[in-house]
């Protein structure tokens, strides 16, 4: 794993996660742990309305933690209720935290190769609706990362289980003096909570 990412992980303080968030996370943690203990394969699809910010951060940090804790047969995806584009500030934030990212295709919905480890395959990042052929079609866990998708998508077709994470959208701070700070804050929050979910 790239040293800067390892450094970010080493500075995670689980005590900083508020109790109300732990109450939300604990059922998900128990579900994941039960799958791990049974050595059952698991596909997690992190879903947000536009698949542009929070769902990507969640997918990426979840996959990092899966590898960090050397867990097997856990595969992480992301999608939206519609496709837009991966927001550039997400790419900038991840690079700042130690990821190596290459743009594979430059378009209105660009495609990125996101590396966190020299030996691990790159995560392919682009915006897509959750039923996209790149994602699992059945027996996956729907991880709802925003209120809007959670409320307006009462049925996630193909999901065998569903949980709500509901992160505040850093988009609220776009074009403000604290934009960079808030994107980094959200990424660190998600990294910490993914550590909490997958840590033993």
Q: How far is CA 17 from CA 66, 146, 157, in A?
A: 19, 18, 31
Beta-sheet pairing, 140-144 with 123-125: unpaired
pLDDT of residue 34: 96
Global pTM value:
0.96
Count: domains in the chain: 1
Residue with tokens 């790159």: 122
pLDDT of residue 179: 98
Distance CA 174, CA 183 (A): 9
Domain range enclosing 20: 3-198
pLDDT of residue 199: 94
Comparing C-alpha atoms, which of 57, 73, 46, 54 is closest to residue 135? Answer: 46
The pair of structure tokens assigned to 111 is 């495609």
CATH number at residue 36: 3.40.50.2300
């Amino acid at each position: 794993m790239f040293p800067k990412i390892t450094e970010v992980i080493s500075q995670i303080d689980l005590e900083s996660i508020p109790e109300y968030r732990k109450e939300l996370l604990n059922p998900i943690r128990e579900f994941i742990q039960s799958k791990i203990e049974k050595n059952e394969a698991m596909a997690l699809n992190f879903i947000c309305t536009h698949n542009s910010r929070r769902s990507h951060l969640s997918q990426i940090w979840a996959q990092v933690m899966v590898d960090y804790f050397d867990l097997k047969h856990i595969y992480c995806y992301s999608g939206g209720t519609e496709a837009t584009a991966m927001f550039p500030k997400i790419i900038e934030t991840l690079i700042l935290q130690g990821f190596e990212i290459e743009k594979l295709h430059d378009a209105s919905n660009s495609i990125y190769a996101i590396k966190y480890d020299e030996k691990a395959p790159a995560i392919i990042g682009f915006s897509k609706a959750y039923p996209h052929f790149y994602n699992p079609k059945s027996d996956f866990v729907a991880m709802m990362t925003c209120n809007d998708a959670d409320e307006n998508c009462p049925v996630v077709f193909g999901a065998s289980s569903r949980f709500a994470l509901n992160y505040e959208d850093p988009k609220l701070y776009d074009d403000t003096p604290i934009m960079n700070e808030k994107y980094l804050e959200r990424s660190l929050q998600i990294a910490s909570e993914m550590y909490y979910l997958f840590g033993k």
